[in-house]
Amino acid sequence: MGLTAAVELRRRGIDATVIDRLTEPARYAKAVGIQPRTLEVWDAMGIARSALDVSAPMLGQIVFVDGREAMRIDLELPDDVPYRFACIPQYATEDVLARALTDLGGTVRRGVELTSFTEGADGVVATLRDADGSWECTTEYLVGCDGAHSAVRKGLGVSFDGDAFPEEYMLADVELGWSLPAGYGIRSMTTSDGATTDLMVCIPLPGRGRYRVSSFVAPDLATPPSERGIAHGMEAEHRPTLAHIQALADRLAPEPTRVSALRWSSVFRISHRIVGSYGTGRVFVAGDAAHIHPPTGAQGMNTGIQDAYDLCWKLALAVTGRAADGLLASYDAERRPIGEEVVGRTVRDAREGIGAGENDPTTIMLREAQLLLGYRGSPIVDDAVAGSGPSAGDRAPDARGLRQAPVAVPTRLHDLLRHPGHTVILWSSDPGDVDAADDLADTLIERAGDLLRAYVLTPAGVAGASGRRFEDDCGRAAATYGFGAAAEAVVVRPDGYLAFRTTNPTADALLTHLGRVLRL
């Protein structure tokens, strides 16, 4: 989360330094699953290709109960979703982000930790410590991405309410020599009277036959909870061996399987907690510092990435003096309800199974992919349109098949969002109104400058020659967004969510909305 925050700030020209108490990057795969929404975020950040290069596909899951295949789930999504599910070890994700940060001129200072801070009207004075001693530094803003035991959260004095699971688990990164189909997660369990008595979960990793294996802890590795205050995360004192994982496979693998090439292993515990406030003033928290919960559905790191993605476009505007009053307060208003929902859902899913009691598999899949999360009701979104299509606060859907006169191949709508500012899409279905839409786009850009891009979208055969006009060649954008005969405008925030929708748009209406976010 700290790397994501720093990359997003550097993309906008803001100085940002990451401090990390570890002297070397961790080489374990605490988080593995990457959601389609995260890949959309990485696309906008310009790192999706680098991430996919070190990924493995996650095609679905096969469930075995008491030695027999009980269920096979294929992870399918609608055609208008540009990415699918993937698996990337957390250390590889961090490598991709760290390279992006270096390319943007940012730095990671290793072997440095924050011990305390004091917030003032003009900045934050942080006390830092490394092997040579302590010193103070002053920064405009402080973002705590420092995990479940966050010093920043403790310094804020906010609550971190929740509880812990009594169970202890073990993890290992190994190769499994079986013939089961590649790209599928494997869940194998034994049961008694409907209760799970033994469990083996295997998530595919990049590399032939490589998986992240998890299970209940082996009896000889079980320990009482530590006294660190929050029983969550890795327990470094006890590590499963290859023999522990082989014994697990001997009990539960769907076919005789040789386990080999152990890279790392750990015992871990799970808590579920949510912070009382994501921050105010000049100090904020994100990721595990704000919410911890079971790894069910691979929601944790993905949620934390979106925390940072939401916060840092707002922070960049604040640092440059271009944020409207109250913009930073919207971070807590938008992200804490998301955190509460994710914590509650993952706890329920861990106890009952993903989607238990629900009847619509499409909704379950879209939600797990984090494509249904949004900000309806946020203090900085407005919706003047009732009808079909996404509402203000929803994720801006993609649409393929946009045509532009100088470009030989179709463009995706998400391609238009790949920049650090706001985007206005002006829909005009009447050939006589296209020039007026062009003029409106000019007015908006003149007022907002580099904080905004504006495009005119029309049905096929309407756009004509213009540098910012696109034709909806296949009608997919109109169908997805619910555009019809009336002229319409949608404003898309820098994080890819709709901020405003209005029919028969005017410069006054659009600038009034933008003025709630930007200092124009």
Write the CATH number for 464. Answer: 3.40.30.120
Within a domain: 249: yes
Burial class (CB in 10 A: 0-12, 13-18, 19+), 469: buried
Contacts of 165 (CB under 8 A, 6+ apart): 269, 270, 271, 272, 294, 350
Beta bridge pairs of residue 503: 488
Interior angle at CA 16, CA 234 and CA 315, nearest 5: 95
401 and 307 share one domain: no
148 and 263 share one domain: yes
354 and 458 share one domain: no
What is the Cβ-side half-sphere exposure of residue 202, based on CA atoms within 13 angstroms?
30
From first to last of its 520 residues, the chain has per-residue pLDDT tens of 899 999 999 999 999 999 999 999 887 767 899 999 999 999 999 999 999 999 999 999 999 999 999 999 899 998 889 999 999 999 999 999 999 999 999 999 999 999 999 999 899 999 999 999 999 999 999 999 999 899 999 999 999 999 888 888 899 999 999 999 999 999 999 999 888 899 999 999 999 999 999 999 999 998 776 554 555 555 666 789 999 999 999 999 999 999 999 999 998 888 899 999 999 899 999 999 999 988 877 888 999 999 999 999 999 999 999 999 999 999 999 999 999 999 988 888 777 777 766 778 888 889 889 999 999 999 999 877 766 789 999 999 999 999 998 889 999 999 999 999 999 999 999 888 899 999 999 999 999 999 999 999 999 988 666 778 999 999 999 999 999 999 999 999 999 999 999 999 999 999 999 999 999 8
Write the CATH number for 115. Answer: 3.50.50.60
What is the Cβ-side half-sphere exposure of residue 17, based on CA atoms within 13 angstroms?
12
293 and 207 share one domain: yes
Burial class (CB in 10 A: 0-12, 13-18, 19+), 303: buried
Chain centre distance of CA 97:
13
- Domain final position from 327, 345, 368: 368
The domain tally of the chain equals 2
Nearest to 39 by CA among 83, 91, 79, 80: 83
Within a domain: 484: yes
What is the Cβ-side half-sphere exposure of residue 123, based on CA atoms within 13 angstroms?
8
- Domain final position from 326, 343, 368: 368
387 and 413 share one domain: yes
171 and 126 share one domain: yes
Tell me the three state secondary structure of residue 318: helix
Residue carrying structure tokens 């469930």? 63
112 and 173 share one domain: yes
Distance CA 389, CA 476 (A): 12
Q: Within 10 Å of residue 360's Cβ, how many Cβ atoms?
A: 10
Within a domain: 520: no
345 and 493 share one domain: no
298 and 406 share one domain: no
Tell me the three state secondary structure of residue 87: strand
Distance CA 243, CA 397 (A): 48
162 and 295 share one domain: yes
Within a domain: 227: yes
Range of the domain at 110: 2-368
Within a domain: 519: no
- Domain final position from 318, 342, 368: 368
Within a domain: 442: yes
Structure tokens at 229: 């205050």
Residue carrying structure tokens 């994710």? 342
Distance CA 114, CA 21 (A): 8
Within a domain: 377: no
Compute the Cα dihedral for 395, 400, 403, 408 and give only its sign. positive
Tell me the three state secondary structure of residue 472: strand
Edge-first strand order for the sheet with 124-130 is 113-119, 124-130, 133-139
45 and 117 share one domain: yes
Beta strands at 160-176 and 259-275: parallel, antiparallel or unpaired: antiparallel
405 and 266 share one domain: no
Within a domain: 343: yes
Nearest to 169 by CA among 248, 60, 262: 248
